Amino acid sequence: MTFLIVTGLSGSGKSSCIKVLEDIGFFCIDNMPPQLIPNFAELCAQSSLKEDELEKVAIVTDIRGGTLFLRLSENISKLRGIDGADVKILFLDCAKEVLMKRYSETRRKHPLDEASEGDLSKAIDAENALLTDIRANSDYIIDSSLLTARQLQEQVAGLFLDKPSDRMIINCMSFGFMYGVPGEADLVFDVRCLPNPFYIPELKHLTGTDQAVRDYVMGFPQSVELENKLYDFVDFLAPLYVGEGKSRLVVAFGCTGGKHRSVTFAELASKHFEQAGYRVRLNHRDMDK
């Protein structure tokens, strides 16, 4: 099980970082006191959580924890002593002048504001001093001083993904128009133009998950041509969505009742996108209605 400890200077972009980690499959927890991290890791090692495939965990811990944060290194050592725990530290750094500008623009209080009597410069210096050791022992350091939020997210994703396309999940959905168009769909394809298995007695009570229905639907030249054109269209769009930082693309196929043609296309499309290297989910919204 991978445990990624995310820490760093206040205002350096930890919130943006945790968002992209969640998008790429990490179970994320924000602002956990260091003393609880080893206990949480022990809990994750229990069989009940293994069954939930909790394999990648990212924990944000920082100076917001007050004096508890000062024992971070000690508790990371305990975490590394747990069998099966692969522990990494990601440190987000940032130049002092940039942090001062960010706090000025957002008008947020620094966590050490009271201790520094409202002097932001002293608060940043104090936090820098407290983080010297953990910065020196980090596995990854990202300086966000000159990065936009999107550029920071791209760097974080690049550290933990084998390929950029892993960042986006393509959700292939089937639905029936008689029950309404799914509001979450990014792309909707209407396949009601194809011959309907509903009117074939031996296929009426089957669904597009059955091979007999798929063979019927795809047994027409127009079905094959439509399939190829749809793939060509989405194959062109998907990398563009990845480049824009989209984490989920919902591709919905609709027929009249959501049982035959739409299910067939969603099933075939999910296999196509998996073969293309994307993470894929399959959802037949109305198949059992």
The tokens 């725990």 sit on which residue?
A: 85
Which of 205, 189, 289 has the alpha carbon at shortest distance from 237? 189
Q: Average pLDDT in the 31-60 region?
A: 78
For residue 33, give both structure tokens: 């006191």
Confidence at residue 80, expressed as pLDDT on a 0 to 100 scale:
87
For residue 235, give both structure tokens: 């194959």
Q: Average pLDDT in the 27-35 region?
A: 91
CA distance 247 to 24: 8
What type of residue is 150? R
Model confidence at 251: pLDDT above 60: yes
Q: What are phi and psi of 8, to 5 degrees?
A: 145, -170
Confidence at residue 58, expressed as pLDDT on a 0 to 100 scale:
94
Q: With 0-12 CB in 10 A as exposed, 13-18 as middle and 19+ as buried, what is 29?
A: middle
Which of 85, 41, 58, 40 has the alpha carbon at shortest distance from 4? 58
Global pTM value: 0.66
Confidence at residue 253, expressed as pLDDT on a 0 to 100 scale:
98
Confidence at residue 144, expressed as pLDDT on a 0 to 100 scale:
94
Q: Which residue has the higher pLDDT, 45 or 198?
A: 198
CA distance 153 to 220: 45
Average pLDDT over all residues of the chain:
91
Model confidence at 48: pLDDT above 50: no
Tell me the Ramachandran region of residue 118: left when phi exceeds 0, alpha when psi lies from -120 to 50, beta otherwise.
left
Confidence at residue 222, expressed as pLDDT on a 0 to 100 scale:
98
DSSP-H helix ranges across the chain:
14-23, 37-44, 47-50, 72-80, 96-106, 120-130, 132-136, 149-160, 201-204, 211-217, 221-243, 261-275
Cβ(203)–Cβ(260) below 8 Å: yes
Confidence of residue 191 (pLDDT cuts 50, 70, 90): very high
Q: What are phi and psi of 103, to 5 degrees?
A: -65, -35
Q: Average pLDDT in the 246-261 region?
A: 94
**Residue 285, CA distances (Å) to 81, 162, 173, 226 in order:** 45, 31, 7, 22
Confidence at residue 90, expressed as pLDDT on a 0 to 100 scale:
95
